[in-house]
Structures are given as structure tokens and as C-alpha cells.
Amino acid sequence: MTIPNFLTLVRIILIPLLVILLLENQLGKALGVFVVAGITDALDGLIARMFHQKSKLGAYLDPLADKLLLVTTYLTLVHLSLLPIWLVVIVVSRDLFIVVGIMTFIIHGVKFEIQPSILSKITTVMQIITVILALSSPIFSFHNMLLYSSCVATAVVTTASGFHYLMMGIKIWEQSRADNDLDIKEDSQNC
């Protein structure tokens, strides 16, 4: 197992601990666990690039770990009334939409490569900032407007990213269908 994949597994293992801390209203400790999870995310990518330890498993496991961490955190934070439900619906819906798209491609044998776009990376950063602000909001009550602004910005970039993935998915789907049609034509001409 590569070091980046190990760090990704550590991030996944931290998720239940984070949820327990949140549900026990230990927001400071939960924030610490969330930051550690974020550090493992940054490190796994850095190490994979620097030491040429990119793997096919890591290409699937890393975004899955990110989605599990963020979706679980957002669902728990809405349960604790630290985030608005409309934001959580947007964040979770986008991720479900992406997973359904990937599963559809797999079921139909559509070849694709998982590569997050710049917009997707910005979305992840905004979602993380919003979590950090939400977890620290009981400590710093003066920044309620900052948290609300972050929620709105996160909703906007998350929605834009969802539409971007939709357009990419349609393009991949159409290209796959065109390639299949071409293969069928070539096979019929060779008979």
C-alpha cells in the first residue's frame, strides 16, 4: 500500500470520530479532527505527485474519502443546526448526482477518467472553509455574517460545479455513443 492511499484510509477512519465529537458537542475537538483530515488530504496528493505514487486505487479512493468526509460532516452540522438545510441539500445533491453519473457510466461500459476540474477544487475549498466557520461559530459569535456569506458562496460554486460535471458527463456520454456507433459501422463493413 502506498503512503498516499494509507493517508486516504486514515481520513476515512477519522470520519466516525468526527461524527461522535460533533454529536457530543465537542466542537473544538471536532474542528481539530477535521483539520487533521484536511491535512491528510493535502499530504496524500502532494506525496503522490512528488514521489510518483499515483495509483488507480488512489484515483478512486481519494475523491470517495473527500465526499464521505464532507457529506457526513454537512449532514451532522445540519442536524446540529450549525448549517442551513438548503446548503446541505445542495452539497449532498451534487455529490449524489456525481456518484449516480459515475455508476451510470460503469453500468453502461462508458470509459472515463476521474480528474477533478478547477471549479471542483474551488468547490471543495469553499465547502471546507464553510465547515471550519460553522465549527468555530459558537466560539466566535461575531462572524455569523461571515458564515452566512460563506454558505451562499459555497452554494453558488457547488451548483456551478454540479452543472459543469453535468456538461462534462453529457459530452463523455455522447462521445462514447459516437465511438460505439463507429465501431458497429466498421464491424458491419468488415463482414
CATH superfamily of 3-190: CDP-alcohol phosphotransferase transmembrane (TM) domain (1.20.120.1760)
Total residue count of the chain as it appears in this document: 191
In this prediction, residues 44-68 reach a mean pLDDT of 90
Model pLDDT, residue 183 = 66
Phi and psi for 55 in degrees, rounded to 5?
A: -140, 160
Model pLDDT, residue 114 = 73
Model pLDDT, residue 185 = 65
At 52, is the secondary structure helix, strand, or coil? coil
In this prediction, residues 119-131 reach a mean pLDDT of 94
Model pLDDT, residue 140 = 76
In this prediction, residues 20-29 reach a mean pLDDT of 96
